[in-house]
Structures are given as C-alpha cells and as structure tokens.
C-alpha cells in the first residue's frame, strides 16, 4: 500500500526544507510553513523503518479540527489545510520547551513513579497511587525540545534559570496549556473518551505574538482511555482500554527495544502495520465522531504538490 515515507517538493517561493521525525516542513519565503504529515512513525525518539498507511492523514485532520476548536483560547499558526496530509500556516520561532500536561498517572510518569520517584519536572505526585489513577489536578510537566536525540524532563525553575523562556512568557504558556487541556478533556468526554495526557508546542510570530503550533490532541501527542468502564477497570486492577501510540511503545518494549544504543528494532510484520493503521483510524473516528474518509493513495505526491502550489498561488 502506498505511503508517504519522505518528500522532496520544490514549492513556489520555497527557501528550505526541514525533516522532523514525522513531518516534512517547508519554509516559504520566510513567511509561511508548509507542513506535510508523512506516514512515518516514531517511538522512543527513533523513526521506525516502516510507514503506517493513512497515519499522516489521521494526524493532520485531527490537529486541524482541534486547532479550529481552540483558537478562542489561544491563537494558532494554521491558515489552511489544502490536502488531508498538509497544513499551511505562519512561520514561527518555536519555544525550546514542550508543555506536557498529565491528568492521570500513565506512561512515562507511571514508569518514574513505579521506580520510586515522587516528583516529576519539580512537581510532586501523591503517595498511594497506582497506574492510570487520576491526579487530584492535572500536572504540567515540561520537557526540553531537542532537534536531535531525546527530549528531557525539566522543571519550571530550570527553564527560567537557563533562560529558555522568560517568566512572563512561561506563565502564559502554562495558563494556556491548562485551558487547552480542559477543552480537550470536555471534547473527549462528549465522544466517550478520557484525555489522559498530551503535549502542546508554542512559538512566536514575527510580530512577537505567542501562538500554538504543530499538532494537538492527536494519537502521537496524546493518550486517550475509553471513559466507559474506566473506573471498573481501575477498581479491578485491569489494564485500561486506550487509544494512543502507547501500544506501539509497549509492543517495542515487549520486544526489548526502548531506543537505547545497541538495541535492534523488532521486525514490523504486515499484520502489525495494518493493526497500527486500524488503531489510528479507530481513534480518529472516536475523537472526531465521524467516519474516516480514506483518501486515494495513488499518486499521493502529485496530489500534494498540486494542492499546495494552487493554495500558495
């Protein structure tokens, strides 16, 4: 099945191309960014060797939906989405931190807690919790934003001490993070889901305005549980039924891969690839509340090039 592994377009007025873990980002005349959501998948900061059909379409469409639904909370970078795999928006200078917020003791926070730690990013976690319990209130746990390698946990105090963000800007980022998470939680609940944790990225436009950038509330940046049966599963020490990329991380860990030096990425069979694709589509249909419209996968690059150039012109 055709997928987008990598792109190398030459759009009108293009100045440069940056390839992230999942997205290819084109600078248009130092004014706009064209962000192409590929079908690459990463885990533990490693891009895995096979692509996931429709993954880019899922991520881009969910992000566009939530950017529109939250622009009353904070302005965002998005201008248009001329193709299901593409977003076009304002070029911004990203902050060197990612704003992670956690409503539940899951994933990385749980692994830290399980190993005996009771603080994460300088924030205290209560004693007596078990995996996937709800925190008394959401915790803001930032990370560094690295161009290469692993993002690292960092506290508010360290961010300010290192001058990564001014105190005024950090306070704004934190307040918007909490408001965005509240909105995402409300929207997820309407679809029978729990928004467990997520991350937001912010940047500044040329005129110094802080805006939300990149993706939000997607399965790559967020973790979701099914609301129905959540408490029953917690009370009976059962695993939560979830929709997120965590199942890919769990599969890798079961196969002795966590991105560490010397570890081999396990074989990704066709059945596994199809299962991952179906899980991404399942999340789309649950969080958006509508059927997923699979695009024609033939001549994807030509579709994208025409759609973007028509939009830019």
Report helix, strand and coil shares of the chain as percent, to nearest 5: 30, 25, 40
pLDDT in tens, 18-56: 998 899 999 999 999 999 999 999 998 899 999 999 999
Average pLDDT, the chain: 94
Strand segments, DSSP code E, in the chain are: 14-19, 23-28, 32-37, 42-43, 46-47, 78-83, 86-90, 93-94, 97-104, 119-120, 123-124, 134-140, 143-144, 193-204, 210-213, 222-226, 242-244
Question: What is the rounded distance in angstroms from the CA atom of residue 132 to the CA atom of residue 237?
Answer: 10
**What pLDDT is attached to residue 203?**
97
Read off the pLDDT band of 148 (50, 70, 90).
Answer: low
**What pLDDT is attached to residue 141?**
98
pLDDT in tens, 260-300: 999 999 999 999 999 999 989 988 999 899 999 999 888 88
Cα 289 from chain centre: 19
Take residue 217 and report the two structure tokens written for it. Answer: 């509330």
Q: Residue 147 pLDDT > 80, yes or no?
A: no
Question: What is the rounded distance in angstroms from the CA atom of residue 97 to the CA atom of residue 2?
Answer: 35
Q: Residue 75 pLDDT > 80, yes or no?
A: yes
Q: Residue 199 pLDDT > 70, yes or no?
A: yes
**What pLDDT is attached to residue 243?**
79
Q: Residue 200 pLDDT > 70, yes or no?
A: yes
Domains in the chain and their CATH numbers? 94-244 (3.30.470.20)
**What pLDDT is attached to residue 220?**
84
**What pLDDT is attached to residue 86?**
97
Question: What is the rounded distance in angstroms from the CA atom of residue 55 to the CA atom of residue 42?
Answer: 12
Asked if 61 and 42 touch (Cβ cutoff 8 Å), the reply is no
**What pLDDT is attached to residue 149?**
59
pLDDT in tens, 205-253: 999 999 999 999 998 899 999 999 999 999 999 999 887 787 898 899 9
**Which residues neighbour 116 within 8 Å (Cβ) at sequence distance 6 or greater?**
none
Neighbours of 261 (CB within 10 A): 4
**Which residues neighbour 246 within 8 Å (Cβ) at sequence distance 6 or greater?**
106, 107, 223
């Amino acid at each position: 099945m055709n997928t987008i592994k990598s792109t190398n377009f030459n759009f009108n007025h293009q100045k440069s191309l940056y390839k992230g873990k999942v997205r290819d980002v084109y600078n248009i005349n130092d004014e706009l960014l064209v962000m192409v959501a590929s079908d690459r998948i990463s885990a533990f900061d490693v891009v895995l060797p096979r692509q996931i059909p429709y993954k880019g379409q899922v991520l881009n469409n969910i992000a566009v939906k939530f950017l529109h639904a939250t622009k009353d909370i904070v302005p965002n970078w998005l201008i248009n989405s001329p193709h299901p795999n593409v977003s076009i928006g304002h070029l911004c200078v990203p902050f060197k931190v990612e704003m992670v917020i956690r409503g539940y003791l899951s994933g990385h926070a749980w692994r830290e807690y399980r190993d005996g730690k009771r603080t994460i990013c300088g924030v205290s976690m209560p004693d007596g919790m078990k995996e996937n319990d709800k925190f008394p209130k959401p915790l803001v746990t930032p990370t560094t934003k690295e161009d290469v390698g692993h993002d690292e946990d960092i506290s508010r105090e360290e961010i300010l001490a290192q001058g990564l963000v001014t105190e005024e800007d950090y306070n704004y980022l934190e307040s918007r993070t909490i408001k965005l998470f509240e909105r995402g939680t409300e929207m997820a609940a309407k679809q029978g889901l729990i928004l467990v944790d997520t991350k937001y990225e912010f940047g500044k436009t040329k005129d110094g305005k802080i805006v939300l950038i990149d993706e939000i509330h997607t399965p790559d940046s967020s973790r979701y549980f099914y609301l129905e049966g959540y408490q029953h599963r917690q009370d009976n020490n059962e695993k939560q039924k979830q929709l997120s990329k965590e199942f890919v991380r769990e599969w890798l860990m079961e196969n002795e891969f966590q991105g560490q030096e010397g570890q081999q990425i396990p074989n990704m069979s066709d059945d596994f690839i199809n299962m991952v694709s179906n899980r991404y589509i399942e999340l789309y249909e649950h969080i958006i509340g509508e059927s997923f419209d699979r695009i024609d996968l033939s001549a994807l690059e030509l579709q994208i090039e025409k759609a973007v150039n028509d939009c830019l012109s």
